[in-house]
Each structure stands twice: as structure tokens, then as C-alpha cells.
């Protein structure tokens, strides 16, 4: 039987080869906590000579192997952290990304009032909608998605977190035809369909409906912009996440749809990532 110490040393060495892991040891520990059902503090404090039960070792090895094949850590754990919320994630939803927290930050900065109406278009796990509701408990928040499987994940997250967010099946905003919102946010699929990154580790495990935005990657952005025009209140704001090269195209689409006060924001890496605009005089 292998000791915990030996297992972790060997697995960490193997995981160091992963291109998308900044912290291989942390990943091995996280999978260990998951398999052994122990909190990290307990695992860290365990006797390094302790031997692992063969069944646990087999399960831990299987998860490390899947990770080495490129499967996202969040799918292996079944959870991801977003805006300090622990969200359930399955392969039916995109793994929420840290840069999307910037979209939440900008949406909150654009809406200091407490009781506004928000829509999150293409809600996936519900990450953005749930973070907004957490910060604005008095607000009305709805999350829309075309994927029924994603909506089930989002509903589970809302229930577990005790956050009152409505989730509706909708092709973009079509299901909320007569509704009006103060803030619409969206992180739509924006990768162009021939982008080689779609076959790379990580992304190839995520749903293509969550990733691919048509020939130039702009189909989702365009649809959300066009449909938001009739669903925003006077002075309402639309905030969109997009690819690092899509800032100018997104700003143009917003301008063409009648939006003003258009700003593009960069992410932690200095890439253009979020563009927002306001709608007056519809
Ligand atoms: C990039 S993911 C974003 C998920 C989540 N908002 C996040 O930021 O983690 C895009 C989402 O848009 C949804 N989607 C794709 N096409 C759609 C459509 N026509 N109408 C509504 N949602 C759509 C996908 O199912 C997916 O959940």
C-alpha cells in the first residue's frame, strides 16, 4: 500500500506537465480531499506515513489520469468557486472563469441602486446571476439559457445557495419578450467556429453551445445586443464579455443598435474583455 506522502509526491510530479495548471500540488491535494472526503486542513495534518486504502488510491489515480488527459479540475471535483460562491458544475455547463467576475464587478458598479431588474443571458451554471443576487438581495434577477441541462445545474445552485433567482429556458431573450430590465449582462459563446483552441485541453470537454459563436464568434454577441434594445428600460445598461480581439466589433454592434456611453474594459492580463453601453430614447 502506498503512503499519502508518496502518492502526493509522484502525482504532483506528473501534474507539473499540465499546460493549464499553475499549481499542480494544489490540484493533487484538492482531488485528494475530494476522494478521501477530508477537508484540506485535515489532509495537510495527516501522518505522511499513513497508507491509502487501495480503493481510494485507485479512485485518486483515476482522477489524476483524467486530469492529465486535459479534463478540467472543476468537472473532476464537481464544483467551482466563483465570486466566493461554491457552484456545482457538470460537463453541461461552462466552468465559470475568473475574468467573468469582472463582468459582475462592472455590472454592480453600473447599478448602485439596490432594487433593480437584472437579466443574465446564457446563464450556464448561473454564476453571474447568482453573484448579482448575492450582492443585491433586493434586486429581481433572472437567468436565461437555451440549454435545459444547464438550467437544471443553475437551479440546483440557486437552491443550495438559498438565492432567489428565476431561471428560464430561452433562445437569447426571446422568452422575455414583454419584460424590461435595468441591466442586462451576458457572457455569450464568442469563439469562432474554426478556432483551433476548441480542440485544446480543457475546452474540448466543455459544451460547444457554451463556446462557439459562429463564423466570426460574433453571432451570440450580435443577438444579445439586438434583442436587448427592446428589453432595456430607459437608461438601461448592457454589459458583455467577449474575446480579446472583439472589443472594437462589439462596440460597433452596440453603436449600430443605438447604444451610447460605450466603454471597453481590460481583464487581469490586459486583454480587452468587457464592453458596455447605455440605451436612451428607444
Ligand atoms: C460562455 S457560456 C457562459 C456561461 C455563464 N454565464 C458563465 O459566464 O460562466 C455561454 C452560455 O450561453 C448559452 N447559450 C448558447 N446559445 C444560446 C442561445 N441561443 N440562447 C440562450 N443561451 C444560449 C450556453 O448554453 C452557455 O450556457
CATH number assigned to the domain comprising residue 148: 3.40.50.150
Is 77 inside any structural domain? no
- Find the 157 Cα to ligand 1 centroid distance in Å: 16
The reply to whether 19 and 54 lie within a common domain is yes
Distance separating alpha carbons of residues 40 and 277, to the nearest angstrom: 43
Please give the pLDDT value at position 44. 87
pTM of this structure:
0.95
Is 241 inside any structural domain? yes
- Find the 32 Cα to ligand 1 centroid distance in Å: 31
Please give the pLDDT value at position 202. 76
How many distinct structural domains can be found in the chain?
2
What string of pLDDT tens digits covers the 282 residues of the chain? 799 989 999 999 888 877 766 688 899 999 999 999 999 999 889 887 899 999 999 999 999 999 999 899 999 999 999 999 999 999 999 999 999 999 999 999 999 888 999 999 999 999 999 999 999 999 999 999 999 999 999 999 999 999 999 999 999 999 999 999 999 999 999 999 989 888 877 799 999 999 999 989 999 999 999 999 999 999 999 999 999 999 999 999 999 999 999 999 999 999 999 999 999 976
What residues are paired with 169 via a beta bridge?
Answer: 145
Please give the pLDDT value at position 282. 63
Structural domain boundaries enclosing 269: 92-279
Strands (E), the chain: 79-82, 85-88, 117-121, 140-145, 166-169, 181-186, 232-241, 259-266, 272-279
Cβ atoms of 221 and 191 within 8 Å: the answer is no
- Find the 62 Cα to ligand 1 centroid distance in Å: 30
The reply to whether 251 and 217 lie within a common domain is yes
CB-based pocket (< 6 A), ligand 1: 94, 96, 100, 122-125, 127-128, 144-147, 150, 170-172, 187-189, 209-210, 220
Of 33, 130, 51, 122, which is closest to residue 87 (Cα–Cα)? 130
Is 227 inside any structural domain? yes
- Find the 161 Cα to ligand 1 centroid distance in Å: 21
Is 86 inside any structural domain? no
The reply to whether 122 and 239 lie within a common domain is yes
The reply to whether 103 and 58 lie within a common domain is no
State whether residue 189 is helix, strand or coil: coil
Please give the pLDDT value at position 87. 98
The reply to whether 45 and 121 lie within a common domain is no
| Residue among 91, 95, 118, 124 whose CB has most ligand 1 atoms within 8 A, to mutate | 124
Please give the pLDDT value at position 199. 84
Amino acid at each position: 500500500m502506498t503512503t499519502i506522502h508518496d502518492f502526493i509526491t509522484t502525482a504532483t510530479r506528473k501534474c507539473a506537465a499540465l499546460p493549464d495548471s499553475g499549481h499542480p500540488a494544489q490540484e493533487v491535494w484538492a482531488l485528494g480531499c475530494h476522494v478521501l472526503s477530508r477537508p484540506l486542513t485535515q489532509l495537510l495534518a495527516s501522518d505522511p506515513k499513513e497508507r491509502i486504502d487501495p480503493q481510494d488510491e485507485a479512485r485518486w489515480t483515476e482522477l489524476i489520469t483524467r486530469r492529465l488527459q486535459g479534463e478540467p479540475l472543476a468537472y473532476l471535483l464537481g464544483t467551482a468557486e466563483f465570486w466566493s460562491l461554491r457552484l456545482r458544475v457538470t460537463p453541461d455547463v461552462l466552468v465559470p472563469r475568473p475574468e467573468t467576475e469582472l463582468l459582475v464587478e462592472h455590472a454592480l458598479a453600473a447599478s448602485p441602486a439596490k432594487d433593480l431588474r437584472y437579466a443574465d443571458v446564457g446563464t450556464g451554471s448561473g454564476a453571474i446571476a447568482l453573484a448579482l443576487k448575492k450582492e443585491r438581495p433586493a434586486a429581481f434577477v433572472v437567468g436565461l439559457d437555451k440549454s435545459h441541462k444547464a438550467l437544471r445545474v443553475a437551479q440546483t445552485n440557486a437552491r443550495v445557495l438559498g438565492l432567489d433567482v428565476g431561471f428560464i429556458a430561452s433562445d437569447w431573450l426571446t422568452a422575455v419578450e414583454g419584460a424590461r430590465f435595468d441591466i442586462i449582462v451576458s457572457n455569450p459563446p464568442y469563439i469562432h467556429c474554426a478556432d483551433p483552441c476548441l480542440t485544446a485541453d480543457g475546452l474540448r470537454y466543455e459544451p460547444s453551445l457554451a463556446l462557439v459563436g459562429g463564423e466570426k464568434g460574433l453571432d451570440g454577441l450580435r443577438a444579445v445586443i439586438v434583442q436587448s434594445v427592446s428589453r432595456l428600460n430607459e437608461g438601461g445598461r448592457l454589459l458583455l464579455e467577449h474575446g480579446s480581439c472583439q472589443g472594437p466589433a462589439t462596440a460597433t454592434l452596440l453603436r449600430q443598435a443605438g447604444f451610447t456611453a460605450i466603454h471597453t474594459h481590460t481583464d487581469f492580463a490586459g486583454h480587452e474583455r468587457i464592453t458596455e453601453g447605455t440605451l436612451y430614447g428607444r
